[in-house]
Structure 1
Amino acid sequence: MTDTPIPARPEVAPPGPWAFPEPSTTRLDNGLGLQTFHTPGQYVASVRLAIPVVPAQEPRELEGILALLSRTFDEGTLDHSAEEFAELLERAGVALGSSTSEFGLVLDLDVPVSRLERGLELLAECVQRPAYPDDEVDRARRKRLADIEQENADPRSRAMREFAATFYTPESRASRPSAGSPATVRAITAPAVRDFHHDHVGPTGAVLVVAGDLSPLGAEPLQELHALVERTFGGWTPQPVEPVGPQGPVRREDARRIVVVDRPGSVQSELYVGCLGPDRRHGWGAYPVLSFLVGGAPQARVDSVLREDKGYTYGLRTAFVPRADGGLFIASGSVRADVTGESVGILLDILEKAREGFTPEEVRSGVDFVSQTAPARYATADSVADEAAGLALEKLPPRWVTEMFEETRSLTGEALVEAYGRADVGRWTVVVVGDADQVADEVRALGRGDVEVRRREG
């Protein structure tokens, strides 16, 4: 038997340069912006309509109306019933969806490029001639009320809600549920939804993002697409109420405190710990790396102690969350109830010790992970369209992504420490959802401040 020589292992070369795609941009006469990303080989077009209507524009007594609008915008139009419109979508191979945030409303359309014109016609019909039938709005309202009951029973949802109410001033829209409370949701009617759409949903400040392989449109695909969008959306009239932009939430002066939300008999405690952080306009390239190193992966500092060494949790995660003006630095996850106090103490110690710096090995691993996985994260038309729509609502250009990753690749340990210092680490708002009779005294024993116990609603 002849020995076969083992081939030499090929050398792994450093990754080549990468940049987020640059769109072709234009604007319709009615004010609607158009960003076009030609992505060869992506034969399903991803269309995102980003509209700057925000929860801060909702009447206080009807909070949640934007969420109900989002859930029912495609449930029939003035030209077609809900059943007829659903059949039209199915025949055209169109998928419609939507999402809301404090930055605005995004309507999603995914359709084969060969049927893009039909898809845009149906999307335009939704936004220009919506029906919001009484029965569909009633159904969505009942569903939202059921969701609220589920959120009350879910410890993570409860922790997030209590954190927002504790951290932000009552006047800040961010202190209250983005999709409304039981009282405000019950007050929403179909005529109110129709009026809100008429007043706030329009082309002024809106951006239509189209990503996909546009070569089937013709020899001049960008011009053909602009003409197509002009035919479908050119008659969309501007909304009567000018967009106001997202509301910057304000931190409460007494936000630095500990709250235990009673959940009798719970064998786990849900932790939600946070402080002020940056928004995406302040050297954001460092913050995905910091999230990864501190608590963004199983090998990060938080899990290496609380999960691997102690066995107190299945996993805790940290994240920097940008908002309209400033942001949050959040650590969250569940721990065993019998070690709640110790876990909170260890978690806060780890987060605060990170201010002392990171090893060269940590810096390199974090920078490489964040920067070298970027091409894969933006390899599809839908991921490009999603990012571009989000940036449009934040008034950031698509090149911001490229600039952010360039900043990430140049990070040093000193730059990471400086960036971490811009978060208000140490001034914590701590929310624990668990059995108060078991965990409250443990948390008090940490000496981290007074502990307020909130009993379960109802």
Structure 2
Amino acid sequence: MTVTPTPARPEVAPPGPWSFPEPTTTRLANGLTLQTFHTPGQYVASVRLAVPVVPAQEARELEGILALMSRTFDEGTEDHSAEEFAELLERAGVALGSSTSEFGLMLDLDVPVRRLDRGLELLAECVQRPAYPDDEVDRARRKRLADIEQENADPRSRAVREFAATFYTPGSRASRPSGGSPETVRSITAPAVRDFHRRHVGPTGTVMVVAGDLSSLGAEPARALHDLVEGAFGAWRPQPVAPTGAQAPARREDAGRIVVVDRPGSVQSELYIGCLGPDRRNGWGAYPVLSFLVGGAPQARVDAVLREDKGYTYGLRTAFVPRADGGLFVASGSVRADVTGESVGLLLDILEKAREGFTPAEVRAGVDFVSQTAPARYATADAVADEAAGLALEKLPPRWVTEMFDETRSLTREALAEAYARADVGRWTIVVVGDADQVADQVRVLGRGDVEVRRRSS
């Protein structure tokens, strides 16, 4: 009888070095920058057009116009009606989308690489010759007004809105809803949208990112892609109003308050608690790790107490949110109404105690999770394109991702503690959306600041 020897167990080695893909960068004569990422095996090309038009450029009485423009940019062009253009997109296998942020407008296109030329043509048509028909803008306006009503009824959306109004100075655009208020949205007309597009959307400062398997374009795919983009976008004229970039919002001097937004009969309280934090230019490699350790996962410090030990919540999360100059450190989630005050007290204690530092085991777990999952997070063309385009709006190069993860891998306990100390932990703005009659006194006895109750009509 022949005995087959048991094969030796392979050794598990640490993962090798990883870096974010480096693009080939070229520029058209009209100022449009093109970043080309050749990602083998990704046969659906992801195209992102990052346009530096920001909410701060909206007229005060027309706030929300950027969001409406984003929703209707592909609803017909000067050459085709909305129905005709939708049919052209379907025939070409093109998916178009859009989004806005304080950093700018993002237009996204996904199309099979073999139809990339047609996809670029259609994107160029709706960017350079949009129609913004009256009926489509009217429909989008009605939809936005309905969304505002829904946001008012949703406790998390209401908490985010009230936090912004409490934390930022009234003159900061960040203190008001990015999608506008009912009053400003009702004032937006189709001619106003067309004029805003004409003045603010153009190639100056705009970056196009294309990621996908471009080998079918020839021996020099980046050069071939540049020619395709030149053919589709070369005639795009610069916008009359130069881009200004995102504006740094200012914190109110009296932001250190507790606001209770009344939601009568609510059996849960929605919490949104925050303070000033860093932006991406301040040693950002530490902050994904800090988010993970403090409240970014079910096993983090916050949930270990408030969910696993106390059973007060299904889950609370913390995050560092970068903005144009500085950012936020926020904790959010819902808790049982009857333990709102205790939950807020415990949460603040956990966040403030973290200033004392983290154990070696915590640091290792956080660093490994953030750095070793990066290759999977950026394994697809759309993830690469999304990240590169988002960085472009923040005026950061693609290599920033690699540098950030290099910094993450080299973190020590001391560096992590120093990074956490750069957040303004302790100077809290606290918003609680819940039954004010039940929870206002609970948070008042914490002695954490003045408590203001806002009724639904306010």
Give the TM-score band, short-chain normalised.
over 0.9
1:103: which partner in 2?
103
Secondary structure in 2 matching 1:248: coil
What is the total number of aligned residue pairs between the two structures? 458
1:384: which partner in 2?
384
CA deviation map 1:51-108 (0-9, x unaligned)? 0000000000000000000000000000000000000000000000001000000100
Which residue identity lines up with residue 319 of structure 1 in the other structure? A
- Separation in 2, partners of 1:67, 1:393: 17
CA deviation map 1:235-292 (0-9, x unaligned)? 0000000001101000000001100000000000000000000000000000000000
2:170: which partner in 1?
170
1:249: which partner in 2?
249
Which residue identity lines up with residue 223 of structure 2 in the other structure? Q
Equivalences for residues 97-176 of structure 1 within 5 A: 97-176=97-176
2:51: which partner in 1?
51
CA deviation map 1:324-360 (0-9, x unaligned)? 0100000000000000000000000000000000000
Instruction: Report the CA distance between 1:10 and its aligned residue.
Output: 2.4
Which residue identity lines up with residue 433 of structure 1 in the other structure? V
TM-score (norm 1): 0.99
- Separation in 2, partners of 1:213, 1:125: 24
2:227: which partner in 1?
227
TM-score (norm 2): 0.99
1:35: which partner in 2?
35
1:432: which partner in 2?
432
- Separation in 2, partners of 1:341, 1:150: 27
Instruction: Report the CA distance between 1:221 and its aligned residue.
Output: 1.2
Secondary structure in 2 matching 1:440: helix
Equivalences for residues 200-349 of structure 1 within 5 A: 200-349=200-349
Instruction: Report the CA distance between 1:7 and its aligned residue.
Output: 4.6
2:395: which partner in 1?
395
Instruction: Report the CA distance between 1:219 and its aligned residue.
Output: 2.1
Secondary structure in 2 matching 1:433: strand
- Separation in 2, partners of 1:195, 1:244: 18
CA deviation map 1:362-395 (0-9, x unaligned)? 0000000000000000000000000000110111
1:10: which partner in 2?
10
Which residue identity lines up with residue 368 of structure 1 in the other structure? D
CA deviation map 1:293-344 (0-9, x unaligned)? 0000000000000000000000000000000010000000000000000000
- Separation in 2, partners of 1:376, 1:412: 24
- Structure 1: 5+ residue runs without aligned partners? none
1:362: which partner in 2?
362
Instruction: Report the CA distance between 1:6 and its aligned residue.
Output: 5.6
Instruction: Report the CA distance between 1:401 and its aligned residue.
Output: 0.2
Confirm whether residue 447 of structure 1 aligns to residue 427 of structure 2.
no
- Separation in 1, partners of 2:239, 2:398: 26
Instruction: Report the CA distance between 1:9 and its aligned residue.
Output: 3.4
- Separation in 2, partners of 1:96, 1:147: 21
- Separation in 1, partners of 2:9, 2:261: 57
Instruction: Report the CA distance between 1:218 and its aligned residue.
Output: 1.6
- Separation in 2, partners of 1:4, 1:220: 52
Instruction: Report the CA distance between 1:223 and its aligned residue.
Output: 1.1
CA deviation map 1:150-205 (0-9, x unaligned)? 00000000000000000000000000000000000000000000000000000000
- Separation in 2, partners of 1:394, 1:7: 52
Secondary structure in 1 matching 2:79: coil
1:406: which partner in 2?
406
Secondary structure in 2 matching 1:270: strand
1:71: which partner in 2?
71
CA deviation map 1:36-58 (0-9, x unaligned)? 00001000000000000000000
Which residue identity lines up with residue 51 of structure 1 in the other structure? V
**Bigger mean CA deviation after superposition, 225-234 or 3-12:** 3-12
Secondary structure in 2 matching 1:231: helix
- Separation in 1, partners of 2:184, 2:252: 23
**Bigger mean CA deviation after superposition, 416-425 or 5-14:** 5-14
Secondary structure in 2 matching 1:117: helix
**Identity of paired residues, percent?**
88
- Separation in 2, partners of 1:378, 1:420: 26
- Separation in 2, partners of 1:164, 1:3: 71
Q: Which runs of 4+ in 1 moved over 6 A?
A: 1-5
Secondary structure in 2 matching 1:131: coil
